């Protein structure tokens, strides 16, 4: 039996908005968790590159070390890949504010 209103297929691949690695990096901090890890970490920090989909994950004991890990990531990718981070997108919670 054929339906009356056939629909077209969805696009399999979404168009890519960025053209270079580290053009846009998404980041978020998750935690605190009730149960800490074996090393005492209660948070984790993620950085996801929109172009390559590469993920960097850092475990944290305290939320105040987020900015220092961001600086560490910037120097790491510049040294290892010779890339430069252009935009950082977060949820705006203020984790990346430093004194």
Q: What is the number of domains present in the chain?
A: 1
78 lies in a domain? yes
Per-residue pLDDT, 71 = 92
Range of the domain at 56: 24-89
Question: Could you tell me the CA-to-CA distances from 19 to 2, 16, 40, 73 in Å, in that order?
Answer: 42, 7, 39, 21
Rounded CA-CA distance 45/65 in Å is 10
In what order do the strands lie in the sheet containing 24-30?
Answer: 55-60, 43-49, 24-30, 87-89
Task: Classify residue 69: in a domain, yes or no.
Answer: yes
Look at residue 8 in the predicted model and tell me its pLDDT: 79
List 26's β-bridge partners, or say none.
Answer: 48, 89
pLDDT score at 19:
87
The residues with which 88 forms a beta bridge, in sequence order, are: 25
What pTM value is reported for the model? 0.78
In a domain? residue 48: yes
CA–CA separation, 96 vs 38, rounded Å? 26
The pLDDT of residue 2 is: 63
Is position 56 within any domain? yes
Q: What is the pLDDT along the chain (99 residues), one digit of tens a residue?
A: 566 677 777 777 767 788 889 999 999 999 999 999 999 999 999 999 999 999 999 999 998 899 899 999 999 999 988 888 899 999 888 777 766
């Amino acid at each position: 039996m054929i339906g009356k209103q056939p629909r077209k297929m969805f696009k399999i691949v979404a168009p890519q908005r960025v053209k270079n690695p580290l053009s846009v990096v998404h980041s978020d901090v998750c935690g605190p968790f009730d149960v800490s890890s074996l090393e005492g970490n209660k948070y984790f920090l993620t950085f996801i590159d929109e172009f390559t989909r590469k993920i960097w994950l850092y475990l944290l004991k305290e939320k105040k070390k987020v900015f220092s890990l961001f600086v560490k990531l910037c120097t790491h990718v510049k040294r290892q890949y010779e890339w430069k981070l252009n935009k950082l997108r977060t949820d705006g919670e203020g984790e990346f504010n430093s004194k």
